[in-house]
Chains A and B, each alone.
Chain A
Amino acid sequence: MIPGDPARLVAGPDATIEDVEMVRKELGLDKPMIEQYVSYITNLFQGDLGTSLKTNRPVSEEIGERFMPTFWLTLWSMVWAVAIGLLIGVISATKRNKWQDYLGMFGAVSGLSLPSFWLGLMLIQLFAVTLGWFPTGGIESWKSYILPAFTLGTGVAAVVARFTRSSLMDVLKEDYIRTGRSKGLSEHKVTWGHGLRNAMIPVVTMTGLQFGFLLGGSVVIETVFSWPGLGKLLIDSVAYRDYPVIQAEMLIFALEFILINLIVDLLYGILNPQIRYE
């Protein structure tokens, strides 16, 4: 399935053909594809994800260790992305077609176009190597989170900003906003209290979907920052063709993504009481 024979890889470069065949038997790779698949699924439901070819440890252990670092990294990226994205989006929508709007939207499209690995390297060079404010990689203290979370969140912040702007602009045209203004509410209250609250509903959905983008982006960012998370493990495993780990990682990422989508759908119902699931 994966180019390069895993059995040969495990047996090592000097192994004889007999050795390779023995390893193949040991790994169960000599059995037909269907049988391998059935036994994989059976083991999966018993919580057994197989054994890593590289470290010989259970895959579930390997992944378990790496889960939390990635979880915190994506979470902090999301927090920062939503904070800055909302701010830029609201400013752009309320200052429509003024310089603030143009600047904000140009910033957003630039954020979408930045190669994240390049941004990460530039930030490491400037803030970690030259200025020495933050560590260059790995997890040492809370300071370690700042550069990677900033880098990973930039693309999502751009999407949130663009989406908030268009959603808020639509809402600000509504009758109830005019009513709010005419009864003498401050512009601040109209925008943040009435406008943003209603504009948030589609923004929440969009932001939830962006979690997928963060999971994907974490693979790149973790490599740049030597982050001991799932993303780096995936790239290392692909390089080593450690297929039990690759399979398990794909499963975990897809599962996480589906779970997040479910949570977003449920949140949607809470945010907008007009929607009822039957």
Chain B
Amino acid sequence: MVEVKLSKKEEYLQRTLEKSAVRTPISEFWRKFKKQKLAFISFFFVIFLILLALIGPFIVPYDIAEPDYENVLSGPSATHWAGTDAYGRDIFSRIIAGTQISLYVGLTSVLLGAIGGTFLGIIAGYYGKWIDRIIMRICDVLFAFPGILLAIGIIAILGPGLGNVIIAVAIFSIPVFARIVRSSTLAVKSTLYVEATKSIGAKPKRIIWKHIFPGTLSSVIVYFTMRIGSAILTAASLSFLGLGAQPPSPEWGAMLSGGRDYLNIAPHVTIFPGLAIFITVLAFNLLGDGLRDALDPKLKD
């Protein structure tokens, strides 16, 4: 077999061609993102968590609701990896089943907040004038209540429960997204290509959907990921305070709250759900940091 030998110049040419062929925005993002090892690992861990949330209830080794009074508050062992709680229920199984609840609450609340905030932010940034002023003043009012307090206030009105926690967390996410989207809308609006689109007579609806919205998307995605971690934390805190999920739900915060009374004799009841919250939130936060560095390095915390 005859090997074709390339000259140095040809080799160089081929290499540059290969390089330039793959430089799309997505591959560029992937190249930067892969460099962040922790974020990369977190990405796979989050996928694992999502899978666990989907199939978790079907693969748990023990029934999550059935009490077993022979095995009350027993420590971690080969049969019960994370021990059992005050009703003898397997904590490991309950943590796996609880993944679904935490992810569901985190994702839906931030998604609702992101949709609402993006909508308001684009309207405010694009139309300006009095619409802008009204929307941003409402956001200022919401900003006057520090984080979780607004959620507690909303729950005081709506009553405790997981559904109301989602609404509460969504409401206090709205102004955050509105502010970020408004400022990127203002930046995109003043670019030449939007000016050009306007001058050929495109309608506002088309300009917003085809040009402004995609321009704001990268900061929305970054913030979306970063907020999920804190949304899961807030929801768990509210459940811990007795304002969110109620026992016997295997929600991690509620499980932890139930273990408080046995902290002295059976600390594992409190330790493991807390670890689950910590690792999950950590994964989302690391992923968010990685996405920020890869997508939008200008955004800082």
Complex CA–CA separation, A3 to B243 (angstroms): 13
Contact indicator B285/A113 (Cβ below 8 Å) = yes
The reply on B251 being an interface residue by CB < 8 A is no
Complex CA–CA separation, A238 to B240 (angstroms): 14
Q: Which of B242, B260, B270, B282 is close to A113, meaning CB atoms less than 8 Å apart?
A: B282
The minimal Cβ–Cβ distance linking A67 to chain B, given in whole angstroms, is 15
Contact indicator A216/B149 (Cβ below 8 Å) = yes
Contact indicator B144/A113 (Cβ below 8 Å) = no
Contact indicator B145/A239 (Cβ below 8 Å) = no
The minimal Cβ–Cβ distance linking B264 to chain A, given in whole angstroms, is 6
State which residues 153-181 of B face A: CB under 8 Å: 153, 155-159
The minimal Cβ–Cβ distance linking A243 to chain B, given in whole angstroms, is 8
Contact indicator A250/B149 (Cβ below 8 Å) = yes
Contact indicator B256/A118 (Cβ below 8 Å) = yes
Q: Given A113-B233, A115-B237, A223-B241 in contact, is the A250-B278 Cβ separation under 8 Å?
A: no
Interface of A is mostly: helix
Contact indicator A117/B156 (Cβ below 8 Å) = no
Q: Mark A151-169, 1 if CB is under 8 A from B, else 0.
A: 0000000010011001000
Q: Which of A122, A124, A235, A257 is close to B144, meaning CB atoms less than 8 Å apart?
A: A257
Contact indicator B270/A121 (Cβ below 8 Å) = yes
Complex CA–CA separation, A212 to B148 (angstroms): 9
Contact indicator B149/A253 (Cβ below 8 Å) = yes
Contact indicator B229/A113 (Cβ below 8 Å) = yes
**B residues within 8 A CB of A243?**
156
Contact indicator A257/B146 (Cβ below 8 Å) = yes
Contact indicator A212/B281 (Cβ below 8 Å) = no
The reply on A258 being an interface residue by CB < 8 A is yes
Q: Which of B148, B242, B264, B289 is close to A217, meaning CB atoms less than 8 Å apart?
A: B148
The reply on B271 being an interface residue by CB < 8 A is yes
**B residues within 8 A CB of A1?**
157
Contact indicator B152/A234 (Cβ below 8 Å) = yes
> Which single residue of chain A is at the shortest CB-CB distance from B158?
A3
Contact indicator A215/B274 (Cβ below 8 Å) = no
The reply on A116 being an interface residue by CB < 8 A is yes
Complex CA–CA separation, A223 to B235 (angstroms): 16
The minimal Cβ–Cβ distance linking B297 to chain A, given in whole angstroms, is 11
**B residues within 8 A CB of A80?**
none
Contact indicator B146/A253 (Cβ below 8 Å) = yes
The reply on B236 being an interface residue by CB < 8 A is yes
The reply on B202 being an interface residue by CB < 8 A is no
Contact indicator A115/B267 (Cβ below 8 Å) = no
Q: Mark A105-116, 1 if CB is under 8 A from B, else 0.
A: 010011011111
Q: Which of B145, B286, B300 is close to A254, meaning CB atoms less than 8 Å apart?
A: B145
The minimal Cβ–Cβ distance linking A73 to chain B, given in whole angstroms, is 15
**B residues within 8 A CB of A36?**
none
> Which single residue of chain A is at the shortest CB-CB distance from B146?
A212
Complex CA–CA separation, A241 to B159 (angstroms): 9
Contact indicator A109/B264 (Cβ below 8 Å) = no
The reply on A219 being an interface residue by CB < 8 A is yes
Contact indicator A220/B241 (Cβ below 8 Å) = yes
The minimal Cβ–Cβ distance linking B162 to chain A, given in whole angstroms, is 15
**B residues within 8 A CB of A211?**
146
5 contacts between A and B (CB under 8 A): A113-B282, A166-B301, A212-B146, A220-B237, A257-B144
Question: B-contacting residues of A (Cβ < 8 Å)?
Answer: 1-4, 106, 109-110, 112-118, 121-122, 124-125, 129, 159, 162-163, 166, 211-213, 215-217, 219-220, 223, 234-235, 238-239, 241, 243, 246, 250, 253-254, 257-258
9 additional A-B pairs beyond A106-B38, A257-B146, beta carbons within 8 Å, are A113-B229, A115-B233, A115-B240, A115-B278, A166-B301, A215-B146, A216-B146, A234-B152, A246-B156
Question: A-contacting residues of B (Cβ < 8 Å)?
Answer: 38, 144-149, 152-153, 155-159, 229, 233, 236-237, 240-243, 253, 256, 260, 263-264, 267, 270-271, 273-274, 277-278, 281-282, 285-286, 289, 300-301
